Every structure is written in C-alpha cells, then in structure tokens.
C-alpha cells in the first residue's frame, strides 16, 4: 500500500474551498499511484475555530463526507481525514473518517485524549473505532 500524507493549511471555516483543494490533492495522489491519502485533523474547517464549531460541525452523512466520498470514488482512492463531527445526540467529536476507494465509510475514530481547550467543545471518544 502506498500512502500520501498531506500537511495542509485549511482555510478557516471554508469547507467548500478546502474540498476543492482536496480534489487537487486527489489528482496528485493518483499521479503518484497512491492507495491512501491522509489529511490532517479538522481538515475542512481548520483547527483554531472552536467558537464556531457548533455551526460548522457536520454529521457523517453531511455534505463534507458526501463530497469526500464522491472524490474517493472518482479517483479510486482511500481517504482519511479529520472532521468536526456532530453525533446523533448533538455532541461534537473531533473525528477521523476513513473511506474506501468506492467512497464507502469504513471506520470513524473519535479523538479520545482531548487537550487544552478541546475539552470545552468536543466530547472525548469512548471506543477505539466505530464503523
């Protein structure tokens, strides 16, 4: 398996622009014959925007994951990315989402060891992975 790790600088609170950047990264990954493209924590919202997370967080079936799944399928590429995820109970998780090359959701990791101000905005994960 060939892995590409992208250290990006997402535009704060600009999911659409950050998804457009993801498509460019997908094209690069395909050219490099990569199997899995990994993006950073909170890849589509940026990190230091805690006060805005309540309105920016999305569910696993929201537009960010839907578009990422479309790109995974289009480019036949596994994707791993960070998401401010709204859980069904309304709580927010700092999550890592794994999609297969067909865009199917394989697993989610909810960050378990929150630090600094993360505890004010996110709920710590309770399981290692959830499918």
Average pLDDT, the chain: 94
CA torsion angle 23 28 33 35 (round to 10): -40
Share of the chain above pLDDT 70, in %: 100
- The predicted-structure confidence for 65-100, as pLDDT tens digits, reads as follows 999 999 999 999 999 999 999 999 999 999 999 999
* Model-wide pTM > 0.75: yes
**Tokens 């892995």, residue?**
3
Burial of 34 (0-12, 13-18, 19+ CB in 10 A): buried
Q: For position 61, what pLDDT does the model report?
A: 96
Dihedral sign (CA 115, 116, 118, 119): positive
DSSP-assigned beta bridge partners for residue 95? 83, 110
Interval 59-64 mean pLDDT? 96
CA separation, residue 111 to residues 14, 24, 108 (Å): 22, 27, 10
12-21, 57-66, 71-80: which has the minimum mean pLDDT? 12-21
pLDDT at 36: 99
Domains of the chain as residue ranges with CATH: 3-121 (3.60.110.10)
């Amino acid at each position: 398996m060939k892995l590409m790790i992208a250290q990006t600088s997402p535009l704060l609170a600009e999911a659409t622009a950050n998804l457009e950047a993801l498509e460019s990264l997908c094209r690069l990954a395909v050219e490099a014959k990569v199997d899995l493209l990994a993006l950073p924590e909170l890849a589509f919202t940026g990190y230091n925007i805690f006060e805005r997370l309540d309105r920016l967080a999305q569910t696993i079936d929201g537009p960010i994951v839907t578009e990422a799944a479309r790109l995974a399928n289009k480019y036949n590429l596994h994707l791993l990315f960070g998401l401010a995820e709204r859980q069904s109970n309304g709580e927010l998780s700092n999550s890592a989402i794994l999609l297969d090359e067909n865009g199917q959701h394989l697993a989610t990791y909810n960050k378990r060891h929150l630090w600094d101000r993360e505890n004010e905005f996110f709920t710590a994960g309770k399981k290692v992975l959830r499918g």
